[in-house]
Structure 1
Amino acid sequence: MPRDTYPKFRAVAVQASSVFLDRDATIEKMEDLVEEAASKGADLVVFPESYIPAFPVWNIVYAPIDQHDFYRRLFDNALTIGSAPYKKIAQIAKSNKVFLSVGITEKDSISMGAMWNTNLLFNREGQLLNRHRKLVPTWAEKLTWANGDASQLHPVDTELGKIGALICGENTNTLSRFALLAQGEQVHISCYPPVWPFQRPEAGKSYHLTNAITLRAAAHAFEGKVFNIVSSGVLDEDAIEQVSQGDSNIESILRNAPQPVSLIVGPTGDVIGEPLVGKEGMVEAEIDISESIILKQAHDIVGYYNRFDIFQLKMDKRSHVPLSIENDELTDHLINNANSDLETLSSNSSDLQKA
């Protein structure tokens, strides 16, 4: 008996270090990793938060007055949409025929200094499907990144299913997660930093990043009955040395902070890809979108397991821009007529003077 069919594909979450604050070298490293993932049969390859050119961990361990050099280096190596490095990333996706998700620090041509924490998603042809800027930088990250907007806070419909993405702490934002689910999300991408020290080691209450990521990944997958592809970074020796700058206290904080985890979670909330903690590698899993169907008999929070007559969510998807120009046709008409009258008056005055 004929029936509808649903996407099946292979997902790979890459856990890797950036080449610290070196955009071009990091892109070259990413190219090798994408080729490796493609050789494993990957259809979707996911990289960590701000993988290009590095996560600004110095925001957490230095006072603002001591961060200027890092900020400048990050800006100089940040990515502009449409630039040559951007086109290189698009070509990597196209050459390997994979869907490619990567976290970047983004800059644009309007402000010489503003940056955003951005996730990019490319299709197999190297076309950009989505560019999501993190809505609210978390804690000390506000020293580097500006607020994003909801202009591209939506899943994109692809041959693999409807793919959405949130960055790090956004996966704690219940309304952001629900907004994606309510627009039909089936595959969720979560990207995280290489380290996130929240307390000094001696306080004994450091933010347990491994547990926090696992909890959030399972919660979203279970609540929405979706697959969750989680990619976290790695802080390598070179990054530790460059950030600590010989300060043993800062080095201790970086080395003793809990490590993140990369994993893949199914719609039951169970981990289906072997988790990877604190080292470089890849997490792989086979995804079958149809596994969500039966589970939604019990809980469908964007369907019949909700009360939309009681709860309502609104989202403003307008882009945040520094200037909105509205064309006043009447004013333009009056100005043009006035200019024409002035030209005529000037011409007449010139003729009278000659006479």
Structure 2
Amino acid sequence: MREMKKFKVAAVQTSPVFFNVEATVEKACKIIREVSSNGAKLVAFPEVFVCAYPYWNWILNPVQGSKWFKELYLNSVFVDDKELRPLFETARECGCNVVIGVNEKDPIKAGVLYNTNLIISDKGELMGKHRKLVPTWAEKLTWTGGDGSSLKVYDTSVGPLGTLACGENTNTLARFTLLAQGELVHIANYIGLPVAPTTYNMSEAIKIRAAAHSFEGKLFTIVSCSTISEEIIQFFEKEAPDCRELFERKNSTFTGFLDPNGQVIGDSLIDDDGIVYADIDLTECIQPKQMHDIIGHYNRFDIFDLRVNNKPIKAINFKE
């Protein structure tokens, strides 16, 4: 049986340096050093933190926003780009595990972008990457969906860790796939979404999803959400002069931690920039499983049979 660790974790709520990979990576490295100096062994960054979220898909029509797709592509990364190396080096120097969202360019197919979370070990190694399976709503104008090959749980130094991006934390089957692989630490990262319908409370929706996963799986969920900076607002005011009121809408973000009972622990943030911390003891995942262990005794696998295609999907397969 693997060791059940105790450790401190940090979650970041802030904005990227919009359309600037190098400056955003530098900002992330500074944060990694800060949280490490405060004792954190794991830090979670927001969705597509490197280095822009395509808000134009929501506030402009598809024709108006199309030109920004090219700009986003040119400010996106391959996972082995030299611009990302400081992240790996800083993780190694600080002995801190890092999960961070990036806009990832496909290494073969030009123009294809993925919403990707990188899982970086405390030794500075890329343990893996998760590509968001289904872009949400207007995001389909920007990202291509990933495949089942990235639905993995990683044996990190703090414990078995999995991650999903934003709305796919609503996907019960994706979440179960991670739970069934022994996930005990879940990273759920988001972007601030003030452009959602007015009846939709984004901060509450994030907490509901995180609480559901923590309670169902009897694990810890770490949530990291980005904010919308003054820089971003001014960027879009050139295209949509009335966007400020929309972007400054309250209750658009939540960053924090949920325990195996689905309860918020440690510090949390709504709307404001900052870094929050919590102490995690994985032995707290044990007792709740006596009541509801949906990957063990509290299920009927003679009735239910979940099958997951974990093969990478290719545009072409050659056959001799």
Secondary structure class of the residue paired with 1:80: coil
Aligned equivalent of 1:323, options 310, 316, 320: 316
Secondary structure class of the residue paired with 2:40: coil
Structural mapping, 1:153-168, within 5 Å: 153-168=151-166
Structural mapping, 1:43-62, within 5 Å: 43-62=41-60
Q: Which amino acid aligns with 2:41?
A: D
Deviation at 1:125, TM superposition (A): 1.3
Aligned to 2:246: 253
Q: Which amino acid aligns with 1:133?
A: R
Deviation at 1:8, TM superposition (A): 1.1
Aligned to 1:41: 39
Aligned equivalent of 1:76, options 49, 52, 74: 74
After superposition, the Cα gap between the structure-2 partners of 1:271 and 1:258, relative to the gap in structure 1 and judged at 3 Å, is closer
Deviation at 1:246, TM superposition (A): 5.8
Aligned equivalent of 2:268, options 268, 275, 279: 275
Deviation at 1:259, TM superposition (A): 1.5
Q: 1 CA distance for matches of 2:216 and 2:4?
A: 20
Kept after mapping to 2: 8 A contact 1:189/1:229: yes
Q: Where does structure 1 lack aligned partners over 5 or more consecutive residues?
A: 200-204, 329-355
Kept after mapping to 2: 8 A contact 1:181/1:302: yes
- 1:150-203 residue CA offsets vs partner (Å, 9 max, x unmatched): 10201111221100000000110000001100111110000000224123xxxx
Deviation at 1:279, TM superposition (A): 1.4
Deviation at 1:30, TM superposition (A): 0.7
Deviation at 1:232, TM superposition (A): 0.2
Deviation at 1:257, TM superposition (A): 5.8
Q: Which amino acid aligns with 1:213?
A: I
- Normalised by the size of structure 2, how large is the TM-score? 0.97
Aligned to 2:282: 289
Aligned equivalent of 2:196, options 188, 195, 198: 198
Aligned to 1:343: none
**Quick check: 282-291 or 241-250, which moved more?**
241-250
Deviation at 1:5, TM superposition (A): 4.9
* Percent identity for Structure 1 against Structure 2: 40
Q: Where does structure 2 lack aligned partners over 5 or more consecutive residues?
A: none
Q: 2 CA distance for matches of 1:252 and 1:100?
A: 34
Q: 2 CA distance for matches of 1:6 and 1:274?
A: 23
After superposition, the Cα gap between the structure-2 partners of 1:72 and 1:157, relative to the gap in structure 1 and judged at 3 Å, is same
Rg larger in structure: 1
After superposition, the Cα gap between the structure-2 partners of 1:254 and 1:77, relative to the gap in structure 1 and judged at 3 Å, is same
Which ranges of 4 or more aligned residues in structure 1 deviate by more than 4 Å? none
Secondary structure class of the residue paired with 1:302: coil
Q: Which amino acid aligns with 1:46?
A: A
Kept after mapping to 2: 8 A contact 1:222/1:268: yes
Q: 1 CA distance for matches of 2:25 and 2:228?
A: 17
Kept after mapping to 1: 8 A contact 2:116/2:132: yes
After superposition, the Cα gap between the structure-2 partners of 1:163 and 1:248, relative to the gap in structure 1 and judged at 3 Å, is same
Deviation at 1:4, TM superposition (A): 8.2
Output the aligned Cα RMSD.
1.4
Kept after mapping to 1: 8 A contact 2:59/2:240: no
After superposition, the Cα gap between the structure-2 partners of 1:263 and 1:140, relative to the gap in structure 1 and judged at 3 Å, is same
Q: 2 CA distance for matches of 1:36 and 1:13?
A: 12
Q: 2 CA distance for matches of 1:149 and 1:86?
A: 23
Q: 1 CA distance for matches of 2:234 and 2:216?
A: 41
Structural mapping, 1:217-236, within 5 Å: 217-236=210-229
Secondary structure class of the residue paired with 1:36: helix
Deviation at 1:72, TM superposition (A): 1.5
Aligned to 2:124: 126
Q: 1 CA distance for matches of 2:70 and 2:3?
A: 50
Aligned to 1:151: 149
Q: Provide the aligned length of Structure 1 versus Structure 2.
A: 320
Structure with the higher fraction of residues in helix conformation: 1
Kept after mapping to 1: 8 A contact 2:250/2:271: no
Aligned to 2:63: 65
- Normalised by the size of structure 1, how large is the TM-score? 0.87
After superposition, the Cα gap between the structure-2 partners of 1:286 and 1:61, relative to the gap in structure 1 and judged at 3 Å, is same
